[in-house]
Amino acid sequence: MNEPMLRDKIEEALHTIFDPEIPVNIYELGLIYKIEMLEDNNVHIYMTLTAPACPAAGEILGEVETKVKAIEGVNGVEVRLTFDPPWDRDMMSDEAKLELGWL
């Protein structure tokens, strides 16, 4: 599978993961900062959380790793958590803002 197709599959998988406290997927929330495709179809995902003390942090990060690793063609996944820059509502897609009534 070529890189653009694999990236699409990764984005599709990320759209199925939700922050348990907000009824919007983590991709539309703007929690995914970067998807880096490396040699041999290894993937690094740089992401954040809505708050540093998010009680669901382990669950969300684990789900990202599990779902991306399950994609055919992905050999390895590393999820890197960062709070630089800190997340805010402006990072959300317009679709997510509409769904939450923030637009």
- Give the residue among 79, 83, 95 at the shortest CA–CA distance from 42: 79
Q: What is the pLDDT of residue 76?
A: 96
The better pLDDT of the pair 80, 21 is held by: 80
Q: Is the pLDDT of residue 35 over 90?
A: yes
Return the structure tokens found at 85.
Answer: 């820059």
Percentage of residues in the chain with pLDDT exceeding 70?
100
Tens-place pLDDT, residues 73-87: 999 999 999 999 999
Give me the domains of the chain, ranges plus CATH numbers: 3-84 (3.30.300.130)
> What is the pTM assigned to this prediction?
0.93
